Structure 1
Amino acid sequence: MTVITVECLLAFDKYEDKEKVLNLMRKFSSMVRFAYKRLLEEVERKELKKMLSQKYGINTRYSDSAIFLAQQTLNSCLQRGQNPKKIVFGSRELFEKLKKKHLMGKRREKLRQKWEERRYGILYSRGDKSKEGNLNLRLVNLNNQWHLRINLGNGEYVWAEVVRSAKREKDRWIDFVWDLTQAERTGNWFAYAVRLKLKNGKIYAKISREENLPEITITKENVVIGIDINAYPFHLALAWTSRDGNLEKYERISLNGLLDGNMDKREYLSWHIAHQVVEIAKREGKAIVVENLEKIPKGRRGDGMPKIRKKLQKWVYKGLLEKIEIVCKRNGVQLIKVNPAYTSVIGKLKYAPIYRIDKDVASAYVIARRGLGFKERLPKNYRF
């Protein structure tokens, strides 16, 4: 099981809305402390859940989440061999520093704010697949902008805009948004937990999901599809092979759409292409073979493609192949990585003339054959 966590800032249109959420966070933080003390007294979970809802006038899902955090804290104390009765919510280290009388002025005020934010600035809701991912803290796409719908626990809701953009190629936020978008489209939801925390007066949301990867069922025993990503002009070349290593058929997928738009748009399209590739593999019942991500050549001078090579090197090579790898794992498709050395040259000189195919398809064919275990080497006359 893999846990994926992303963090984002929440922006509120109205000051009153933010204050309502802050009040809820203070109430929930108190619920966690109350639940912790009752757990030490060995109060049963069912009874404690009822006590919390009655005492704080909040829905039972928040009560259940408060008990969950309290139990986690208790378990952590016991595992570390600490006395659970001496725990200080908000950090003992910060509390001990505040007790020192030599701290004055801004230093003390900053430390006090940090401790109070940790102690009182918590809100958590466990995920639920049957409730569109999360009932109390739910992500909703409104006019192409993600918002967090916050249940105040009494039937009233507050909406906050999610402020988050992709900052790098491997940003997990892009992965998460893709999965959310697909869930909205298909209705096949997944559970995600949301934890709000207060830091320097701002409210942040940490969103986590657990991912159970299925068993690999589509393997190279059913033969493979080789993929050459270093194709020109800017496309993927796919080549199907038979069990004896012969070329069966081939296909091309254009990547031109990835050259336009901002990073978020390019990353979204990359995910779309990755899913398209894996859907082909699932339909054909074949494993996928790609070049090793750590050994992909950067090109060479004089190959006539400096501009396209620069764009490819920047994000397509590893970015797209990493997405294909992730989607393969999620769909039980085997992904095989092979040495990329001389695949283009071997394909161009050896197989392109035989099958009357272009060098990119021929390169994908070489990659596929390597995935099946065939020894593909540079022709003797071209070895250095």
Structure 2
Amino acid sequence: MDITGVDEMGTVKTTTQTRLNVRGEEKKILDDLMRRWSSCMRYAYKRLLEGRTRNELKRELQPVFSLNSRYVDDAILEAQGIINLSKELGFKPEKVIFGGRDLFEKLSKNHLSEEEKKKLKQEWRDRRQGNPYSRGDKSKGGNLNLRIVKEGEKFYLRVNTGVRKWILLELKTSHKKWGLFESFLIQGVPYSVRVQRRNDKYYAHITFEETLPDTEIGFKDGAIGIDLNAFPSHIAWAEVDREGNLKSYGEIPTPHLFDGKKEKRDYFAWQYAHQIVRIALEKRKGIVLEYLKIKDKGYKGDYTGRKSRRIRHNFSYKKLKERIISLARRYGIAVKELNPAYTSVIGMLKYAPQLSITKDIASAWVIARRGLGLSERVPKNYLPLIESSQRESGRADGSTDGRNLSAPKFPKGASYNLWQVLRVAVVPPLSPERRNIPRCLSPLKPLMVSGDVGRTLNGREILRPGAGSMAGEIAPAGFIPSLKRRYTNSSAPELCANVQLR
């Protein structure tokens, strides 16, 4: 089962897969239809890039590919969708290779054995030619070109292959959503069908719309903040009450989101999304997510170089987020998406040291609080560091969206946010010989309590391990203590429940 998206009208698109029983002459007829439809779609793609219109192509392509107007129109819309997606992702539509660039490059190599080359060619043909698609039509009671019909106790896919010509292909499925689709089928609900060929086997993917229930679980009692992380691949979550106080937290490892084939990553994305939704159902609180685009920007995060690029490319952040939203809406759980600016920095410097939690869990805590509309202030004992940084650099940002009411005033139009200035002042002394941000920020706790800072030779106030009354409390630079206790279930320590934050 796959949920492809949620619209604003309170419906969700659900896709279920069935196997087609194709034999003998039916196989030749279906393969021919697949070839003509796919050729029509690729031809329309090229013409759309040249500036041709949908109406012009719809009239022109019907006799060329011997397809009816609905098949042709669906092929044109499919081509336009690929163009729009390419532009949205920042790719040049002219560079798209139908069948897959990876397969194309593999087939271009000369060292392949005959058996391997034959296998890759068949996979190439399946991807390039084996994807006919037909949209549903409410006025026609379902789908005219690829219609699901029932004869006796069996279901068939009736495929329109020409003028008053059809073939019936038996459907075989045991999917748990099939019963729901069958009830919709009786009501004449429209559904779209895509036929695919893989390894000489044929499948039908049927997409229909489900009406979503009313939202019953909101944010009146608190929220569940979610922080998605590419490496190490895991989901950090934090539950807060209506005042923003931490109640419970945990981490869900997600090692399968950047490893393996697309189908495998799709499957596990659903599994992880179900775990998040189960937590929200148990806590009876809405979910708060980041609105974030993961891009490789050189040295960013905990890992760099080729390994970082591979992880960021394969990490299915958008896919996982969409599944969490879809499942939550289906169970009547409210979901918010918000700007993630400085959530990691705030969690790392303000909350992680207080309870000796990881910066990812602390970030999820900040996300949950922001989802409730709560603001964040810079801890008082950090202010000398900010003032010192301001004296040295002469620039800091006074516009902090109400998060720094107790902070000093800074010139208007400055370029840095106070939290970013604080990060630069605090983090490097903790790990001067590393690029990485420490996973544990507990050495900052004495500074937040006592306010002690060290001084450099030029008199700048800065956190230095071994300075002042912190000398016996802060570990050497680069040392990252391991947490002996990590709470990954619904029960939080009493310390978390009693901390009152405003």
Q: TM-score, normalised by structure 2?
A: 0.43
TM-fit CA distance, 1:277: 0.8
Match of 1:16 among 18, 21, 25: 25
Q: After the TM superposition, which residues 75-224 of structure 1 pair with which residues of structure 2 at under 5 Å, given as runs?
A: 110-111=63-64, 113-115=66-68, 136=150, 149-150=156-157, 158-159=169-170, 181-183=175-177, 191=184, 193=190, 207-224=206-223
Q: 1:206/1:268 Cα in 2 relative to 1: closer, same or farther (>3 Å)?
A: closer
CA deviation map 1:186-223 (0-9, x unaligned): x655635557799xxxx997844122111111000021
1:345 Cα offset (Å): 1.3
Distance 1:348 1:325, change over 3 A: same
Deviations 1:32-73 (Å, cap 9, x if unpaired)?
xxxxxxxxxxxxxxxxxxxxxxxxxxxxxxxxxxxxxxxxxx
- Asked if structure 1 preserves the Cα contact closer than 8 Å seen for 2:217 and 2:285, the reply is yes
Q: Aligned AA for 2:150?
A: N
Structure 1 residues 376 and 337, CA gap change in structure 2 (3 angstroms): farther
> Which position in structure 2 is the counterpart of 1:244?
243
Counterpart of 2:302 in structure 1 is 304
Provide the residue aligned with 1:282 in structure 2. 281
Distance of aligned partners of 1:17 and 1:357 in 2 relative to their CA distance in 1, 3 Å threshold: same
Q: Residues of 1 paired with 2:157 and 2:251: CA distance?
A: 45
CA contact (8 A) 1:196 1:204 kept: no
Distance in 2, Cα, partners of 1:355 & 1:150: 59
Amino acid at match of 1:158: L
For residues 329-344 of structure 1, the aligned pairs below 5 Å read: 329-344=329-344
State how far apart, in whole Å, the 2-side matches of 1:9 and 1:284 are. 36
Shift in alpha-carbon separation, 1:331–1:111, aligned structure 2, 3 A: same
Whether the aligned pair in 2 keeps the contact of 1:137 and 1:150 (CA below 8 Å) is no
**Unaligned segments of structure 1, at least 5 residues:** 23-92, 98-106, 128-132, 141-147, 162-176
Structure 1's 345 and 118: CA in aligned 2 closer, same or farther, altered over 3 A?
Answer: closer
Q: Computing the radius of gyration over CA atoms, which structure comes out larger, 1 or 2?
A: 2
Residue 316 of structure 1, CA deviation:
2.4
Structure number with the bigger relative contact order (C-alpha 8 A, sep ≥ 6) is 1
Q: Structure 1 residues 116, 366: CA separation in 2 closer, same or farther (over 3 Å shift)? A: closer
| Alignment CA distance shift 1:301-1:288 (3 Å) | same
Query: Taking structure 1 as reference, are residues 311 and 383 closer, same or farther at Cα in structure 2, changes over 3 Å only?
Result: closer
Q: Secondary structure at the match of 2:340?
A: coil
Q: Which amino acid aligns with 2:303?
A: M
1:70-102 residue CA offsets vs partner (Å, 9 max, x unmatched): xxxxxxxxxxxxxxxxxxxxxxx95xx9xxxxx
Alpha-carbon offset, residue 230 of structure 1: 2.2
The CA distance in 2 between the partners of 1:231 and 1:377, in whole Å, is 28
Q: 1:301 to 1:339 in 2, by over 3 A?
A: same
Query: Residue 320 of structure 2 aligns to a residue in which SS?
Result: helix
Question: For residues 1-54 of structure 1, what are the alpha-carbon distances to aligned partners after superposition, in whole Å with 9 as ceiling and x for unaligned?
Answer: 5474979999774333358999xxxxxxxxxxxxxxxxxxxxxxxxxxxxxxxx
> Is the 2:191–2:209 contact (alpha carbons within 8 Å) kept by the matching residues of 1?
no
Query: Secondary structure at the residue paired with 1:249?
Result: strand
d(CA) in 2 for partners of 1:197, 1:299:
37
Say whether the 8 Å CA contact 2:228–2:235 is kept in structure 1.
yes
- 1:103-132 deviation line (CA, Å, top 9, x unaligned): xxxx9x94493359979xx999967xxxxx
Amino acid at match of 2:301: D
Paired residues of 1:134 and 1:191 also in contact (CA < 8 A): no
Amino acid corresponding to residue 273 of structure 1 in structure 2: Y
Residue 221 of structure 1 aligns to which amino acid in structure 2? Answer: K
- Distance of aligned partners of 1:300 and 1:340 in 2 relative to their CA distance in 1, 3 Å threshold: farther
Question: Whole-Å Cα distance in 2 between the matches of residues 309 and 197 of structure 1?
Answer: 33
User: In 2, are the aligned partners of 1:5 and 1:206 still within 8 Å (CA)?
Assistant: no
Deviation at 1:313, TM superposition (A): 5.3
Distance 1:181 1:237 in 2: 31
Shift, 1:149, TM fit: 3.7
Letter of the 1:219 partner, please give it.
G
> Aligned with 1:17: secondary structure?
helix
Contact persistence 1:195–1:205 (CA under 8 A): no
299-308 or 319-328, larger mean C-alpha shift? 299-308
Residue of structure 1 in register with 2:258 after alignment:
259
The corresponding residue for 1:291 is 290
**Do the aligned residues in 2 keep the contact of 1:297 with 1:340 (CA within 8 Å)?**
no
TM-superposed CA distance for 1:309, in Å, is: 6.4
Amino acid at match of 2:332: G
Distance 1:212 1:259, change over 3 A: same
Q: What is the CA deviation profile of residues 316-354 of structure 1, one whole-angstrom value per residue up to 9, with x for unaligned ones?
A: 222211211111111111111222111111111111111
Partners of 1:249 and 1:188 in 2: CA distance: 36
After superposition, the Cα gap between the structure-2 partners of 1:118 and 1:310, relative to the gap in structure 1 and judged at 3 Å, is closer
Distance 1:112 1:7, change over 3 A: farther
Query: Against the structure 1 CA distance between its residues 215 and 308, is the aligned structure 2 distance closer, same or farther, given a 3 Å change threshold?
Result: farther
Greater fraction of residues in helix? 1
The 1-side partners of 2:175 and 2:358 are apart by: 37
Q: Deviations over 1:201-248 (max 9, x none)?
A: xx9978441221111110000211101102642100010112221111
Query: Matched residues in 2 for 1:123 and 1:223: separation?
Result: 41
SS in 2 for 1:240: strand
- What TM-score do the two structures reach when normalised by structure 1? 0.54
Letter in 1 for 2:277: V
